[in-house]
Structure 1
Amino acid sequence: MSKNNLYKSLGLIFICATYIACKVPDFAQRNENKNVPVGFTASQDTLNTANLQWRRFFTDPKLVDLIDTALKNNQELNITLQDIEIAKNDIRVRKGDILPNVGYRVGAGVEKVGRYTSTGAGDASTDILPGKEVPDILPDYAFGLQANWEADIWHKLHNAKKAAVDRYLSTVEGRNFVVTNLVAEVANTYYELLAQDNQLDIVKKTIALQSNALELMKIQKQASRVTELAVRKFEAEVLSSKSLEFDIEQNITESQNKINFLLGRYPQEIARDKNSFTDLVPPTVQVGIPSQLLANRPDIRQAEFDLAASKLDVKVAKAQFYPSLGISATVGFQAFNPAYLIRTPESLLYSLAGDLAGPLINKNAIKAEYLTANAKQLQAVFNYEKTILNGYMEVANQLSSISNLQKSYDLKAKQVVALTQSIEISNDLFRSSRADYFEVLMTQRDALQSRLELIDTKKQQLNAVVNIYHALGGGWK
């Protein structure tokens, strides 16, 4: 075979090998679905309560102070802030990968080569000074600069930096999501604490009422108008209410400690206005249109940035199949005697080299990384769609809850009025022997239950407003 044909064959083999090395396995991609319903209700009003700052949304100054303290001291929020710093540092790392890597080298050493080697045989005839041979043990001194740079011809490094930026933005949105959760959790627990305070007050008043009824039963027993059974029944009811009092006090302690934990401090009394709870009116909420969730909710924006980063990761993994171009350079001085170290041009050394390297055989590891990056991108797509769907469902559920709770509260308020009046009626009827003790007992029990339920419904109303404010993406601005 002639040299010309040999070169052609080698060139063809090189082209085929390069094609095989650069061939990327196919993988099915999926675009995210951003379609959302036109509106939550028939109205298309774009006015949205989520754009309202939380200091203006919550009007209770004591609650505002608690939220403000939580945003300064909450440990989970502070941990998230460090995640932002970590992501910011990763951007610096990726930027550094794009730029040339320049360093310095200072070295000293000694070397003894075998005389009967190509190096030793050559050195045997070299004189350091006239008439003096190179010694067997030869010192070596050097200093200089070294540089290495990978030419980003496939945008692998730039895409990695862009992915790092998207992950940084994702951590920022993650911090915002923690803020919205924290604001909502403090507010909900605060309203729950106020509800428990009012329930405790109702139970104490009911205990006083039941105690009076118990004394009345004892008097009636002495007059032989009732039996010992009636006395025991009323006594058991008083004991049950006192037990309920301690249960509510324990709930109050736990609610206060939960708020203190969210505020990053040890247990202490929570400042609050206990008497204003029943007068609280849930604010009117404007929900806007569903498409605003994409801009307002931090968790949706976080999922969007994670998706963008995962798409760039696929491009980075794909670039691993292509050859990379590396350039290296060195410049400095080297000599066996410090006195000669800075002599030029004798001791001057420099080099410049470039290499093109790429995978050829056994690319399973690169294929696995590429397929993994594709799978993670699909996960990010599904997570993004799930987050949007979850956000819409949360708003829809809370809208329905606000409407139904208002209807329920109106009915329970009427029930409380009716049962409160029934207590006096049952007592009057009992004194005139027109009702038995069991009717008096059940009326008091039903009245207590209805009052507790009314307070609980009020709490649910306030929680529903907080939850829809959170679901719309409010609280972090």
Structure 2
Amino acid sequence: MKNLKLIVAVLLIAVFPFGCMVGPKYVKPEQPKPESFLYGDHTTDTTASVRMIKWSTLFNDPVLIGLIEKGIQNNFDLQIAISRLEQAKANLGVAKADLYPAFQYSGQVNTAETFMQPNSAFANMSWELDFWGKYRHQSKAFQAELLASDEARKVVLSDVISNIAISYFELRDFDNQLEITIHTLETRQKAYDIINERFKSGYVAELDKVQIEQQVAIAEANIPAIKRQITALENSISILIGKVPGPIERGKTNSELLIMTTFPTSVPSALLENRPDVKAAEFLYQSANERIGVAQAMRYPSFNIAALAGFTSVMVGDLFDSGSYLQNAGAGVTGPIFNFGKNKRRVDVNRQIAIERKLTFQRAYLTAISEVENSLQNVAMYKEEWAARNRQVIAAQTNYDLSNARYYNGYVSYLEVLDAQRSLFEAQLSLSQLTQKQLSSMIQLYKALGGGWF
């Protein structure tokens, strides 16, 4: 009965203080809240979320969608992020376990009766009471880190999808540039054959022959350079989708690809609900804030209870007799007296870490707004630039056709033809690059707005 009362008293001590917690409570930092994006569409519904637009609906190319799906399954960076997420889950489980009692068993058998340690078989329980909230703060810290790890996984996922898409657009751009260059080479080679025959017949000067010969060589030299870029991009995409570097399947050309051109641009403060990098930064700040409480709790005494029940006997044969039964329960307290300010400095360190994480979060928020503004501007400007370049290509083609006809009718020198052809070639390449940049800018805007990658 006496032991029972002691156990009841210890349990009451264990339950009573669980309302005590030291350490700061988390308060979300105040952020600047612009009413709208400077370059956004102010007529769109700001309550709509780009998160509701699934990434697979952005593209009308099954080949590109297939490449992205392979990347989601096989990308090494994404698998590493998932592994880190599992580590965070395990750490949270360890932290939660510290809130509860630990149970152990032990046993010992000796053949010599005179041995100093008797035969025994015991079960025991030990429990450090979370009087000051040390383990609760620690559990909350790991919970926040788990959420941050999940958001970090989403960041990697969005990077993988957007990088595959943009690399694919660049690959199709170089495919188009190669096609333009080969066509230009064929045109220049035909012109060279004609002018060379006319030179042999004495109808044109050697200068015309040398000039066109130079342009043929320039076009020939561009082809290997473009092929090197194609190989490098194919290998880069192969790594992104987790396969051995090699050729990449092609689908639609950039000019055939269609991407959604308008996204809901909600108010900047709503980025906190969409951008995984911003959310991850906030969760890490929450974790650091909880660890201040852990450090502060370590400055106070810790309370422990223990209980033991089992059998002990000098003779092995008498080990489980009723007279060998033993039980005990107790409570203890330990705490620091003087350690030259170590515990106080630990609190200071964790407080400064929290300040650093808070500043990182605030910077991430402003960076997110900046990236959206840049992406909105890029989408608008690339659209205008593409329209102008397209008019340039049409005009350059007409100029080349007219110059070519004037040359063969003897009105101008071949130098004018070469200049018109060079302008056409450069305009076609610029238009091809702009088509790629226009597509890429839409993906970058979708990513900046925290689109539905998940």
| Corresponding residue to 1:356 among 333, 346, 369 | 333
Query: What is the deviation of 1:415?
Result: 0.7
Query: What is the deviation of 1:408?
Result: 0.7
Aligned twin of 1:80 = 81
Confirm or deny: 8 A CA contact 2:110 2:316 kept in the other structure.
no
Confirm or deny: 8 A CA contact 2:59 2:258 kept in the other structure.
no
Per-residue Cα deviation, 1:403-433 (whole angstroms, up to 9, x for no partner)? 1111111111111111111111111221223
Aligned twin of 1:52 = 53
TM-score (norm 2): 0.89
How far apart are the structure 2 equivalents of 1:138 and 1:302? 58
Aligned twin of 1:436 = 413
Per-residue Cα deviation, 1:44-73 (whole angstroms, up to 9, x for no partner)? 622333320111122221111111111111
Residue 311 (structure 1) aligned with residue 311 (structure 2): no
Residue 159 (structure 1) aligned with residue 137 (structure 2): yes
How far apart are the structure 1 equivalents of 2:154 and 2:256? 32
How far apart are the structure 1 equivalents of 2:294 and 2:257? 56
Name the SS for the 1:196 alignment partner: helix
How far apart are the structure 2 equivalents of 1:418 and 1:85? 59
Query: What is the deviation of 1:237?
Result: 1.4
Per-residue Cα deviation, 1:86-131 (whole angstroms, up to 9, x for no partner)? 11111111111111111001123589xxxxxxxxxxxxxxxxxxxx
- Partner amino acid, structure 2, of 1:144: F
Confirm or deny: 8 A CA contact 1:102 1:148 kept in the other structure.
yes
How far apart are the structure 2 equivalents of 1:139 and 1:389? 67
Residue 464 (structure 1) aligned with residue 441 (structure 2): yes
Confirm or deny: 8 A CA contact 2:50 2:450 kept in the other structure.
no
Query: What is the deviation of 1:366?
Result: 1.8
Q: RMSD in angstroms over aligned alpha carbons? A: 2.2
Name the SS for the 2:322 alignment partner: coil
How far apart are the structure 1 equivalents of 2:207 and 2:287? 74
How far apart are the structure 1 equivalents of 2:383 and 2:224? 30
Confirm or deny: 8 A CA contact 2:390 2:431 kept in the other structure.
yes
Query: What is the deviation of 1:326?
Result: 0.9
Name the SS for the 1:278 alignment partner: coil
TM-score (norm 1): 0.85
Confirm or deny: 8 A CA contact 1:87 1:167 kept in the other structure.
yes
Confirm or deny: 8 A CA contact 2:60 2:259 kept in the other structure.
no
**Structure 1 residues 63-142: aligned runs within 5 Å:** 63-109=64-110, 140-142=118-120
Query: What is the deviation of 1:285?
Result: 1.9
How far apart are the structure 2 equivalents of 1:443 and 1:356? 91
Specify whether residues 413 and 136 from structure 1 end up closer, same or farther in structure 2 by C-alpha distance, changes over 3 A only: closer
Aligned twin of 1:328 = 306
Aligned twin of 2:315 = 337
Name the SS for the 2:29 alignment partner: coil
Confirm or deny: 8 A CA contact 1:32 1:382 kept in the other structure.
no
Specify whether residues 165 and 218 from structure 1 end up closer, same or farther in structure 2 by C-alpha distance, changes over 3 A only: same
Specify whether residues 96 and 344 from structure 1 end up closer, same or farther in structure 2 by C-alpha distance, changes over 3 A only: same
How far apart are the structure 2 equivalents of 1:138 and 1:318? 43
Specify whether residues 282 and 435 from structure 1 end up closer, same or farther in structure 2 by C-alpha distance, changes over 3 A only: farther
| Corresponding residue to 2:167 among 173, 189, 210 | 189
User: Moved runs in structure 1, 4+ residues, more than 4 A?
Assistant: 135-139
Say which is worse superposed, 413-422 or 215-224, in terms of deviation. Answer: 215-224
Say which is worse superposed, 102-111 or 231-240, in terms of deviation. Answer: 102-111
Aligned twin of 2:123 = 145
Query: What is the deviation of 1:400?
Result: 0.5
Specify whether residues 156 and 442 from structure 1 end up closer, same or farther in structure 2 by C-alpha distance, changes over 3 A only: same
Aligned twin of 1:452 = 429
Query: What is the deviation of 1:234?
Result: 1.5
Confirm or deny: 8 A CA contact 1:73 1:263 kept in the other structure.
yes
- Partner amino acid, structure 1, of 2:417: V
Identical columns (%): 28
Specify whether residues 139 and 61 from structure 1 end up closer, same or farther in structure 2 by C-alpha distance, changes over 3 A only: closer
How far apart are the structure 1 equivalents of 2:334 and 2:74? 52
Per-residue Cα deviation, 1:415-452 (whole angstroms, up to 9, x for no partner)? 11111111111112212232112211121111101000
How far apart are the structure 1 equivalents of 2:358 and 2:203? 76
Specify whether residues 155 and 136 from structure 1 end up closer, same or farther in structure 2 by C-alpha distance, changes over 3 A only: closer
Per-residue Cα deviation, 1:146-196 (whole angstroms, up to 9, x for no partner)? 211011111111111111111111111111111111111111111111111
Aligned twin of 2:251 = 273
Name the SS for the 1:397 alignment partner: helix
How far apart are the structure 2 equivalents of 1:151 and 1:424? 89
Residue 369 (structure 1) aligned with residue 346 (structure 2): yes
Confirm or deny: 8 A CA contact 1:70 1:263 kept in the other structure.
yes
Per-residue Cα deviation, 1:191-226 (whole angstroms, up to 9, x for no partner)? 111111111111111001111221232133234344
Aligned twin of 1:123 = none
| Corresponding residue to 1:253 among 231, 239, 242 | 231
Consecutive unaligned residues of structure 1, counting only runs of 5 or more, are 1-23, 112-134
Name the SS for the 1:384 alignment partner: helix
Confirm or deny: 8 A CA contact 1:163 1:312 kept in the other structure.
yes
Aligned twin of 1:19 = none
Query: What is the deviation of 1:139?
Result: 6.1
Specify whether residues 424 and 96 from structure 1 end up closer, same or farther in structure 2 by C-alpha distance, changes over 3 A only: same
Per-residue Cα deviation, 1:368-394 (whole angstroms, up to 9, x for no partner)? 321221111111101111111111111
| Corresponding residue to 2:191 among 213, 216, 221 | 213
Aligned twin of 2:19 = none
Confirm or deny: 8 A CA contact 1:31 1:381 kept in the other structure.
no
Query: What is the deviation of 1:272?
Result: 2.0
Name the SS for the 2:254 alignment partner: helix
